[in-house]
Copies of this chain bind each other. A is one copy, B any other.
Amino acid sequence: MPDKASTRLTQRDIARLAKVSQTTVSLVLNNRGDASARIPAETRDRVLKVIRETGYQADPLARRMTKQRNQILGVFTYESVFPSASGDFYHPFLAGIEDRAERLGWDLLLFTSAPVTEGRRRIFHENNRLRIADGCLLLGREIPSDELARLIAEDYPFVSVGRRDDAGGPVPYVGADYTAATRTVTERAQELGHRRIAFVGIGVGAESSADRLRGFRAAAGARAPHLPTTDRSPGELLDDLLERGITVALAEERADAIALYAVAAERGVDVPGDLSVVALGDSTRPVASDLDFSGFHVPRRAMGVRAVELLEALLSGTATERQLLLPCELTDGITLTPPEGA
């Protein structure tokens, strides 16, 4: 029968009702029958009976004051977690994170309170609440290195989802091996007989961009063409590609691959007949297309799962390797074929 007391039940209340001390209640609850504290079955049962009757629940906050772990896994995203677009890039990561968190008995704390200043969210702001969580997972295309550096300097346990460059020290991460995947895809194009292959995308800034360009250059050479996408329409891009005699466009962004495909179809340019189009990963922008592009996918769900596991290892001190790259899933697809002349 629940107490109708206005204030919540405490161990002190239980102690009074069971005619023991608060200490005893705590000992019973924590099953400490060892060494210094021995509770005979009779007393233990009496305490447990009162607990059952009152429906007492320990205050998790008070508990955390003395214990180390809080069983809360922080998740910091540099964009909204629940965007309106359903074809969400982050969704699979979070599904993996949730799955593993559930299995570990952790709750997920989404830091939605972080205010947006100067156009982006920042971890460290006036009233930073990182410490509520035992550790934190970081999601985002780009993460300012000063924030990473500070996390490292403060020795705060965190794992980045996605590879990050050193920031005043190595950053713990679980990333996708964009470099290897892009290199493999480029080599495959070469094996098919292609000689004019271009990288289409940003290629700088975020690690994920730079990694792909690096993989491309590793296979195609340092001077292989890189066509930036900024401020150019898919039409202009297509013109440029054809003018240069390119036969394979490696699109960093799946969305660009889709746009390129669409504008090509519009103009009667055959894909892959006249131009092969390869998607280097998954779309970070909401676009719908059920076209089976050649290229690769990012193991997003697995990355989420492994990131939680790595954080757990860091927290329990059992981590051996703090940086992990997962292979991307290569897809044959239908948009990469041998060049016309071959």
Which residues of A does B touch, CB under 8 Å? Answer: 2, 4, 6, 8, 55, 57-62, 64-65, 70-72, 80-84, 86-88, 91-92, 94-95, 97-99, 101-102, 105-113, 115, 124, 127-132, 150, 153-155, 301
Do B153 and A2 have beta carbons less than 8 Å apart?
Answer: yes
Complex partner residue of A94 from B59, B82, B95, CB under 8 angstroms: B82
Chain B residues with CB under 8 Å of A132's CB are 60-61, 72, 107
Given contacts A91-B82, A113-B105, contact A61 B57 (CB under 8 A): no
Complex partner residue of A80 from B83, B98, B153, CB under 8 angstroms: B98
Nearest CB of B to A137, in Å: 13
Q: How far is the CA of A106 from the CA of B132 in the complex (A)?
A: 13
Max chain B C-beta neighbours (<10 A), residue from A81, A109, A110:
A110
Give 15 A-B pairs besides A59-B131, A81-B108, A107-B109 with Cβ atoms closer than 8 angstroms.
A2-B153, A6-B155, A8-B131, A57-B128, A71-B113, A81-B94, A82-B98, A83-B95, A84-B301, A98-B110, A101-B112, A101-B113, A107-B110, A107-B132, A108-B112
Chain B residues with CB under 8 Å of A124's CB are 55, 57
Max chain B C-beta neighbours (<10 A), residue from A8, A102, A155:
A102
Closest to A9 in B: B154
Chain B residues with CB under 8 Å of A62's CB are 65
Given contacts A86-B86, A113-B105, A154-B2, contact A61 B65 (CB under 8 A): yes
Nearest CB of B to A307, in Å: 14
Nearest CB of B to A107, in Å: 5
Do A129 and B107 have beta carbons less than 8 Å apart?
Answer: yes
Max chain B C-beta neighbours (<10 A), residue from A59, A62, A95, A124:
A95
Do A109 and B72 have beta carbons less than 8 Å apart?
Answer: yes
Closest to A111 in B: B107
Nearest CB of B to A66, in Å: 10
Chain B residues with CB under 8 Å of A6's CB are 155
Q: How far is the CA of A317 from the CA of B336 in the complex (A)?
A: 63
Do B82 and A131 have beta carbons less than 8 Å apart?
Answer: no
Chain B residues with CB under 8 Å of A99's CB are 80
Q: How far is the CA of A270 from the CA of B335 in the complex (A)?
A: 38
Chain B residues with CB under 8 Å of A82's CB are 91, 94-95, 97-98
Q: How far is the CA of A155 from the CA of B99 in the complex (A)?
A: 31
Given contacts A61-B61, A91-B82, A131-B57, contact A109 B109 (CB under 8 A): yes
